[in-house]
Amino acid sequence: MGARTGTATGTGTAAGVGTGTGGRVTVAVYAEDLILQTGMIHQLRTRPEIELIPEAEADRAQVSLVVVDMVDDQTVQLLHRLQRNTSTRTGLVVGFFESGALQTMIECGVAAVLRRGEADQDRLIHLVKAMANGEGVLPGDLLGKLLDHVSSLQRTVLDPRGLTLSTLTAREAEMIRLVSEGYDTAEIARKTSYSERTVKNVLHEVATRLDLRNRAHAVGYAMRHGLI
């Protein structure tokens, strides 16, 4: 069964939270049944850091918590709907997390995951506060799988095309690195086996795309963002 919505009073299957009074975090809870909803509300409502709000105000939530047994089609639909609200970050409290759900989680913009078996009050509050501060939270094993996924994507999809996960292609990053080491256009052309015209065009394309004033600016940008 997918997640549905309700109210903070327990008459339905969801509750809301957003930026509340006194610096509290407003949170919306979406649970797939009344039992899950009641348990989640019970964990959150006694904490002074949290303000539960009615379903009608859930769109102003700072954090949305989706509580389900597993990630099924209805849950994915809900996650995609929540993703459209860019002012709210979504966390997933899930009973069983299949390895194949990791890609789905990424595509749906989920910022944090907590297994229900580990969802005591302190961990829930940590999750909510971390998300409100713009952080992500993942169990250690899922973080490892995510890093493996990113590494595999770089190795099997991007590398063969000369691309990277950064805003620069591998060729662009190499040329800017050589600029940072003091090489001029002719020297970069010899080292990369491209023509001087190509080197100039590549560097010009980077400067135009990233709105950079000159080569020194390009080097500074690349270094600040860890691209070289």
Distance CA 8, CA 37 (A): 9
Q: Which two tokens stand for residue 135?
A: 């952080």
pLDDT tens sequence across 159-199: 666 555 556 778 888 898 899 888 999 999 999 999 999 99
Distance CA 70, CA 98 (A): 8
Distance CA 38, CA 121 (A): 14
99 or 219: whose pLDDT is higher?
219
pLDDT of residue 69: 92
Q: How is 33-80 classified by DSSP, letter by letter?
A: SHHHHHHHHHHHHT-TTEEEE-GGGGGG-SEEEEEEEE--HHHHHHHH
Instruction: Provide mean pLDDT across the span 187-216.
Output: 89
Could you tell me the pTM of the whole model?
0.59
pLDDT at 9 over 50: no
Q: Are strands 63-70 and 89-96 parallel, antiparallel or unpaired?
A: parallel
pLDDT at 87 over 70: yes
pLDDT at 135 over 70: yes
Neighbours of 35 (CB within 10 A): 10
Listed in sequence order, the residues at least 6 apart from 201 whose beta carbon sits closer than 8 Å to its beta carbon are: none
